[in-house]
């Protein structure tokens, strides 16, 4: 199996929609035009979606995005916020997620970020162990969130 990490394109959207079902089972899928609009908006706002593609099958094995956030502290060094991390179940424990994170973290460093952060659901213990193995500190900060409309647009 050969894996290539690259930025996502509009052609990847159908596979991304399917892969996100493994992340959030109960979420209704979005239509292709809406997803394309999100990807366009992301690109214009310094948000990059990365995909790990199995080049033998052209299947997306994993994905995540990083948002580079301008910052007025830490000598104005930006922060990288990583979100929506998912690896397809049949591609887990093959080192693909680690390779994806290597690329994302290198991207953040190239952009001058002084740190990257991510949040993860409290029950996702296996994911937490993975993040710790990458060097993330799950004890240094506590994330709080406030959700609106169950996270869906109305």
What pLDDT was estimated at residue 125?
A: 87
What pLDDT was estimated at residue 138?
A: 86
**Degrees to nearest 5, angle at CA 124 with 23 and 2:** 55
What pLDDT was estimated at residue 27?
A: 81
What pLDDT was estimated at residue 25?
A: 79
Token pair of 135, please? 């060097």
Measured distance CA(58)–CA(71) in Å, rounded: 37
Token pair of 131, please? 């993040």
What pLDDT was estimated at residue 144?
A: 85
Q: Which CATH superfamily is domain 3-135 in?
A: Gcn5-related N-acetyltransferase (GNAT) (3.40.630.30)
Closest by CA to 39, choosing from 78, 6, 11, is 11
Helix spans in 24-134 (H): 32-44, 96-110, 125-133
Measured distance CA(65)–CA(103) in Å, rounded: 11
Token pair of 87, please? 């690896």
Listed as ranges, residues in the chain with pLDDT below 50 are: none
Residue 18 CB partners (closer than 8 Å, separation 6+): none
What pLDDT was estimated at residue 142?
A: 82
What pLDDT was estimated at residue 151?
A: 61
What pLDDT was estimated at residue 85?
A: 95
What pLDDT was estimated at residue 109?
A: 97
90-99 in b/e form (b: 16+ CB < 10 A) is ebbebebbeb
């Amino acid at each position: 199996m050969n894996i290539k990490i690259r930025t996502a394109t509009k052609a990847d959207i159908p596979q991304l929609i399917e892969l996100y079902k493994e992340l959030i089972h109960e979420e209704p899928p979005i239509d292709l035009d809406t997803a394309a609009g999100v990807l366009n908006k992301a690109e214009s706002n310094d948000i990059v979606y990365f995909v790990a593609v199995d080049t033998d099958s052209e299947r997306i094995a994993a994905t995540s995005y990083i948002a580079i956030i301008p910052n007025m502290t830490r000598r104005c060094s930006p922060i990288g916020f990583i979100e929506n991390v998912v690896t397809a179940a049949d591609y887990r424990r093959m080192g693909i997620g680690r390779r994806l994170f290597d690329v994302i973290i290198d991207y953040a460093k190239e952009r001058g970020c002084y740190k990257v952060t991510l949040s993860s659901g409290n029950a996702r213990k296996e994911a937490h162990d993975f993040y710790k193995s990458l060097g993330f500190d799950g004890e240094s900060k506590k994330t709080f969130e406030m959700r609106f409309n169950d996270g869906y647009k109305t």
